[in-house]
Amino acid sequence: MKKKLTNFLNFIKFEHTVFALPFALSGALLASENGFPKLSTIFWIILAMAGGRSFAMSINRIIDKDIDLKNPRTKIRELPQGIITNPQAILFSIIALVLFIYAALQLPRICLYLLPIAAIWFYIYPYTKRFTALSHIWLGVALGASVLAGWIAVTGEINSVIPFVLGLAVAFWVAGFDVIYACQDYSFDKENKLHSIPSKLGIKNALTISRIFHVLTIFFLILLGYISQLTFIYWVSVVFVFLMLLYEQSLVKENDLSKVNLAFFTVNGWVSIGFFIFIVLEKAISW
């Protein structure tokens, strides 16, 4: 049972939840005018994020099974290897979707109304690499929307530009690091006519675009601080994110992709968790 659970957690890369969940909670914190959100609201946000992300990742793996089997980098994944069977993966995705829906039912009704848009967006994403190099942006929007989800879960409405600004910062952050990650599959994508910015423009140009995306991340974080009139704590968080992204970009070069995993997971994990901690401190001081 323990091994089976481990297989399913690996199947959906559960540890990558660290990329989206802190920003969903940041959206919830920024939306709460009177102190911190209710613990029950936080609980249902976390459950909804777990269900939604698990559904998205399992659908991704199911749709990409044949591609993953051909790619030397991904053929060791659970589904191509048969560690998890296709029926098991489909059942898991259904359970995750039910959890997503159940959690949304505990939040303001608008969350349930918007859920189909999120589910359809998640379902379409795996196909985007088959027809557009903008699949990185598609993924970025999916994670950036987590900020809006957190905001709406607290307020029950879309009543401010703030979650959109932070959502754009997250979207370009994700798109930027996804471009870096896609550089690993440059040759495979070209040979198999899969679309990505690296396969279309080359690794050197792709890394330049990644840097532009991360500059836009900092721009929108600065804009958020200006619009929201946040305290010194928030501005320290912007400097922190800037330094982390600068470090991330320094790890990857056109002729050296050996540190992609460090840039992708470790550094970006620090970005999301660090930013969230600063938002908590910001909220605690201004409360």
Give the residue ranges of DSSP H helices in the chain. Answer: 2-11, 21-31, 39-63, 65-70, 78-81, 86-105, 109-128, 135-155, 162-182, 186-191, 197-201, 203-228, 232-251, 260-261, 268-286
- The pTM of the full predicted model, rounded to 2 decimals, is 0.94
Angle 128-265-82 from CA coordinates, rounded to 5°: 60
Superfamily of domain 19-26+35-286: UbiA prenyltransferase (1.10.357.140)
Dihedral sign, Cα of residue 135, residue 61, residue 271, residue 235? positive
pLDDT for 217: 98
Strand partners, 256: 253
Domain ranges of the chain: 19-26+35-286
- List the chain pLDDT tens, one digit each, 287 residues: 778 888 888 898 888 888 889 999 999 999 998 789 999 999 999 999 999 999 999 999 999 999 999 999 999 999 999 999 999 999 999 999 999 999 999 999 999 999 999 999 999 999 999 999 999 999 999 999 999 999 999 999 988 999 999 999 999 999 999 999 999 999 999 999 999 999 999 999 999 999 999 999 999 999 999 999 899 999 999 999 999 999 999 999 999 999 998 888 889 999 999 999 999 999 898 76
CA–CA dist 125, 63 (Å, integer): 10
